[in-house]
Amino acid sequence: MDVLGKKERRGRDVKGLLKRNWILIATIASVILGIGLGVLVRDYTSLSQLEKQYFGFPGEVLMRMLKLVILPLIVSSMITGVAALDSEVSGRIGLRAVVYYLSTTIIAVVLGIVLVTTIKPGVSQSTENIERAGSTPNVTTVDTLLDLIRNMFPENLVQACFQQYKTQRKEIEPSKTNTNTTTFPPFTTIISTVAQNLTQDYKIVGSYSDGINVLGIIVFCVTFGLVIGKMGERGRILLEFFDALNEATMQLVQIIMCYMPIGILFLIAAKIIEVDDWEIFRKMGLYMVTVLSGLAIHSIIFLPLIYFVFVRKNPFTFTLGMAQALVTALMISSSSATLPVTFRCAEENNRIDKRITRFVLPVGATINMDGTALYEAVASIFIAQLNNYDLDVGQIVTISITATVASIGAAGVPNAGLVTMVIVLTAVGLPANDVTLIVAVDWLLDRFRTMINVLGDAYGAGIVQKLSKQELERIDLISDVDAANPFALETTLDDDECEKKSYVNGGFTIDKSDAISFTETSQF
């Protein structure tokens, strides 16, 4: 009888686990199936370029859906996240987040440098043995940094939703110098050549490139949130609007996640069919091992250790809670497009306070990229090794600083790290052109570093929540006192008797019992 009861209970447990985690399980299964399908189609069919692209169509649809929700999600979460806290508390939380972002990025860079100088993946090879691919991105350090600041202040909010500013340099026609050509013609030619070199100049031509200007939108929303948070009663209607928008967007995310296994199956299969040079992976094996082991050490040892020191909870349970977001990042190589899933995992599975996630995750997805920073440090020193170029201590320090800056400047989109790599290379006098040596394997490394970027953001949210515990509790207390006020606006009880509070006399608290309770994502 008892044995039967035990069996039944265990059966129910397994069923419950499967039911709660079916999206995650289906996604992992689709990764495996997708790889299998890709290999089969590659080996047994010969698809034309056009057919290959059609094959990837279901995956393309998934990417479009995820990108679709980024904008409403970032806008609504940043505004409500900031407005939920008073400006002093937001400032303190922001400061903690920035300190976390910077310190983990520096740890990642140092780890990368230690590994690449110990393993020396480029010493036994030379640039001639590696085929180049793609072209060198046209990037200059000063312009990239200035563009970062320019993009923080978009001149048109609507345009910021789909375009960002990008400086282009245009060469100015050298001015003709008036020289006497009658007396000494050969001498004159030399003078005019020198004059032309001296007068060679560039001008900045402003242009826009496609893609959401996430940074500009974040800056605007933070300021807007602070302002309407201070407006009290009159700002309430806007807050209610954005809070409802946030909830609705999160429900859309849940629907998109149901389609995720199919999309991912075709995304990975199409990628495997598309890549035709697998030999390069053998040649670049040691370099890839260096990057991947760095990412592994950072995500399995350093980040969990920092989390444990501050939060005193099992970091691996936390990582498991983020599993869906990590698999998504691995499959789509974009931390911005993964953001909707990161939100769900952090709030639903790891129970991080929405006031923290709404603030820390979008900013993290834009500027906190540990994986990218580590990769940039390893790749630039690898290129130096390939060129037999000895780096002194000063140059290594320069690499650490520029790799950190380059990771902040990189957007959360596929291959962004490769573009900002040029900054690191030019800073230490390495040929920018050598980026083309590592392009062929970048699609694979990009996936792993994006996964670590997302994990770093999630741990950041967990740590900042713990460090801000007292402030959050104090705000809760104030709104509880206000809730007793007959003029309090809204206190409802949902089916599960979970209290949900909204804006109370201009003070805004976010319901901590999640409004979207029908989630079936992983619940470890």
Nearest of 340, 367, 372, 120 to residue 246 by alpha carbon: 340
Binding span for ligand ASP by CB under 6 A among 119-127, 383-391, 427-435, 442-450: 442-450
CA 63 to chain centroid:
15
Distance (Å, whole) CA 252 – CA 24? 17
Q: How far is the CB of 293 from ligand ASP (least distance, A)?
A: 17
Q: How far is the CB of 420 from ligand ASP (least distance, A)?
A: 8
| x-marked contacts with ligand ASP along 130-149 as a string, rule CB under 6 A | --------------------
Does position 303 interact with ligand ASP (CB under 6 A)? The reply is no
Nearer to ligand ASP by C-beta: 329 or 352?
329
Q: Which residue is nearest to ligand ASP (CB)?
A: 417
Instruction: Name residue, tokens 């987040």.
Output: 97
Distance (Å, whole) CA 510 – CA 521? 22
Q: Where are the beta strands (DSSP E) in 139-221?
A: 163-172, 201-210
Nearer to ligand ASP by C-beta: 31 or 367?
367
Nearer to ligand ASP by C-beta: 216 or 235?
216
Q: Which of 446, 457, 482, 514 binds ligand ASP (CB under 6 A)?
A: 446
Q: Which of 450, 468, 502, 509 binds ligand ASP (CB under 6 A)?
A: 450
Distance (Å, whole) CA 141 – CA 402? 9
| 226, two tokens | 């602070």
| 62, two tokens | 């998934």
Q: Which of 56, 225, 414, 456 binds ligand ASP (CB under 6 A)?
A: 414
Q: What are phi and psi of 68, to 5 degrees?
A: -60, -40
Nearer to ligand ASP by C-beta: 147 or 446?
446
Nearer to ligand ASP by C-beta: 26 or 416?
416
Q: How far is the CB of 453 from ligand ASP (least distance, A)?
A: 4
Does position 265 interact with ligand ASP (CB under 6 A)? The reply is no
Q: How far is the CB of 213 from ligand ASP (least distance, A)?
A: 15
Nearer to ligand ASP by C-beta: 229 or 417?
417
Distance (Å, whole) CA 502 – CA 485? 14
Q: Which of residues 323-342 bind ligand ASP (CB under 6 A)?
A: 333-335
Alpha carbon dihedral 90, 91, 92, 97, in 10-degree steps, equals 90
Q: Which of 59, 263, 321, 412 binds ligand ASP (CB under 6 A)?
A: 412
- Residue type at position 324: Q
Binding span for ligand ASP by CB under 6 A among 42-50, 152-160, 443-451, 476-484: 443-451
Read out DSSP for 345-412? Answer: IIIIIS---HHHHHHHHHHHHHH--HHHHHHHHHHHHHHHHHTT----HHHHHHHHHHHHHHHHHS-S
Binding span for ligand ASP by CB under 6 A among 17-25, 231-239, 410-418, 461-469: 410-418
Distance (Å, whole) CA 148 – CA 217? 13
Binding span for ligand ASP by CB under 6 A among 42-50, 281-289, 407-415, 500-508: 407-415
Binding span for ligand ASP by CB under 6 A among 19-27, 202-210, 254-262, 414-422: 414-422
Instruction: Name residue, tokens 């909870």.
Output: 313
CA dihedral (344, 348, 349, 350) positive or negative: positive
Q: Which of 410, 428, 435, 510 binds ligand ASP (CB under 6 A)?
A: 410
Nearer to ligand ASP by C-beta: 315 or 414?
414
| 266, two tokens | 């075709």
Distance (Å, whole) CA 521 – CA 524? 9
Q: Which of residues 453-482 bind ligand ASP (CB under 6 A)?
A: 453
Does position 212 interact with ligand ASP (CB under 6 A)? The reply is no
| 185, two tokens | 């013609």
| x-marked contacts with ligand ASP along 371-400 as a string, rule CB under 6 A | -x----------------------------
Phi-psi group of 353: left, alpha or beta (phi > 0 → left; psi -120 to 50 → alpha; rest → beta): beta
Nearer to ligand ASP by C-beta: 41 or 416?
416
Binding span for ligand ASP by CB under 6 A among 302-310, 339-347, 446-454, 513-521: 446-454
Q: Which of 34, 122, 235, 417 binds ligand ASP (CB under 6 A)?
A: 417
DSSP 3-state of 493: strand
Does position 369 interact with ligand ASP (CB under 6 A)? The reply is yes
| 371, two tokens | 């994986």
Nearer to ligand ASP by C-beta: 340 or 417?
417
C-alpha distance from residue 354 to each of 281, 308, 326, 514 (Å): 42, 21, 20, 9
| 408, two tokens | 């902040």
Instruction: Name residue, tokens 């990037």.
Output: 139
Nearer to ligand ASP by C-beta: 26 or 331?
331
Give the per-residue SS3 of 51-109. Answer: HHHHHCHHHHHHHHHHHHHHHHHHHHHHHHHHHCCCHHHHHHHHHHHHHHHHHHHHHHH
Q: Which of 342, 415, 436, 521 binds ligand ASP (CB under 6 A)?
A: 415
Does position 449 interact with ligand ASP (CB under 6 A)? The reply is yes
Number of residues that bind ligand ASP (CB under 6 A): 16
Q: How far is the CB of 413 from ligand ASP (least distance, A)?
A: 6
Site residues for ligand ASP per CB under 6 A = 333-335, 369, 372, 410, 412-417, 446, 449-450, 453
